Amino acid sequence: MIGEASAGAGAAAGAVAGWRSRAALALPWAVALLPALVAFRYVRAIATDVPFYDEWRFIPLIEKWRAGALALSDLVAQHDGHRIVTTRLAILASARLTSWNILWEVWGGFAFLAATGLLLGWLLSRAAGPAAGRAWLALCPVALASIVFGLRQWENLIAPWALCMFSLEFLVILTFALVQRGRWIAAVTSATLASLTFTNGFLVWPVVVVQVFLRTHRPGAPVLPALRATLRRCLPWIATAAAVLAAYFYRYDTLLARSGAGPGPVALRFLVALGTALSPDRGVISGTSAVTPLTGVPLSLGLGVLVLAALLVCLDPRRRAQLVADYDLYVAMGLFGLGSVAMLALGRSSLGLGQAASSRYTTSVTMVLAAALLAATRRGAREPAPRALGSARWGLLAFALVANAVAIHRELHMAKFRAGWLHGWAERVRAYRTQSDEALSNPHFPPGLIRQWSASLERQRLSAFRGGPGPRP
């Protein structure tokens, strides 16, 4: 009897210990939901069903569709430097199904953002192991979530173009994950959709070839046989890429020729854009004014150098042996993120250094920071951390947590002002007939054109004139 009682007590103690262990593992993931919930509440409080900024440019597209005059050329036409076929199709679907309730585009973008968070969480769970350390495993999910759902990207969160921005991010990471698992048909589909979402989406094609090469080549082995094997394996992928890119750049009017800046400014813009995602500068976060000229740009520039250095340390090719399982995936994410920021720096180089420190560009850096954190997790789990790696990974994690906490604090204080401005704009658009030019002024289009397009929306009972409230989950 005594033995049975002792065995029962031991089993109960083991069950309690197991429960505590599972709870300790689950707690960081539960805390990681907080940045997503904060972003959800933020979008819900501010977003409104009225076009602003670039969204007005889609009204002629809807008019053509409703008149039965829509052609393929209208769908593939350039939108500045992009061919946003998927976005145009989504807008036409919204016009058909919801009378162009723009909030569906905003929440569709947020759904892709949530899907990106889940995908990165899955990759983190693959990379993590007990050897990574309890402190790291407790903080890394929160840091990753704060990067994905950070309020520093406030413009992208509340704007209708969120659907375009966040779907691209998800499709690219999904493509790399599908290639990792050998799902080539699904990967081709995802990469094609990414290419038709934003211009930098086409970077996914060459980056995947690099990913496959790194997966094929083993450390210390000859490079040439691995390169030949990669080309044979990627031949259908390369052929598809050639067809997609040929169609994409057919009669393409390049904006790069009009950027008008030398390599020096482009390099500085690249570093500023890279570091802005972690900058606590009030101008970046609040958007109330230009970035503080004496502190904002130099601070972002310095942080950009640190982010680039941290990525290189975490993906140190000299220690590939410890990262064979997912090294190629992390490199692919890092390369795509760096390439996207480089394209941004080159395409907008005529706008000055201060414009590189804009909230709308911080989303492009997400993949760079996520790649570094994932690689640091895998490295920490597979080997004793060298001093450089330890400094890089903990410094990056600390910067991500602190910078995004500051952004949440400041941006939540700005939420009521943003909501007042955006909802005030919505009321002025609805009353466009009686509004002055000053009331309808905006940075992109003259007031006369806003009146013309508002009248078109009213005639077609679309968007702000469709009647009834928009979706408020």
Q: What pLDDT does residue 256 have?
A: 45
Q: What pLDDT does residue 472 have?
A: 40
Structure tokens given for 147: 């990067």
Q: Report the alpha-carbon distance of residue 157 to residue 38 in Å, rounded.
A: 12
Q: Report the alpha-carbon distance of residue 276 to residue 9 in Å, rounded.
A: 56
Most confident among 16-25, 63-72, 355-364, 383-392 (mean pLDDT): 63-72
For 355, how many CA atoms within 13 A lie in the half-sphere containing its CB? 11
- pLDDT(15) > 70: no
Q: What pLDDT does residue 54 have?
A: 80
186: alpha, beta or left, given left = phi > 0 and alpha = psi -120 to 50? alpha
- pLDDT(231) > 70: yes
Q: What pLDDT does residue 393 have?
A: 78
Q: Which residues touch 416 (CB under 8 Å, ≥6 apart)?
A: none
Structure tokens given for 167: 């779907």
| pLDDT tens-digit series, residues 166-206 | 999 999 999 999 999 889 999 999 999 999 988 889 899 99
Q: Report the alpha-carbon distance of residue 382 to residue 470 in Å, rounded.
A: 50
Judged by DSSP in three states, 82 sits in strand
Residue linked to tokens 């262990």: 21
Q: Which residue has the higher pLDDT, 354 or 130?
A: 354
| pLDDT tens-digit series, residues 332-388 | 999 999 999 888 888 776 666 767 777 778 888 889 999 988 888 865 445 555 666
Q: What pLDDT does residue 138 have?
A: 85
Largest CA distance in the chain: 91
Q: What pLDDT does residue 291 have?
A: 43
Range 364-378 burial, b when 16+ CB lie within 10 A, else e: bbbbbbbbbbbbbbb
- pLDDT(399) > 70: yes
Instruction: Report helix, strand and coil shares of the chain as percent, to nearest 5.
Output: 75, 0, 20
Structure tokens given for 395: 């410094």
Q: What pLDDT does residue 189 have?
A: 95
**Per-residue confidence at 118, pLDDT binned at 50, 70, 90?**
very high
Q: What pLDDT does residue 286 have?
A: 43
Q: Report the alpha-carbon distance of residue 70 to residue 82 in Å, rounded.
A: 19
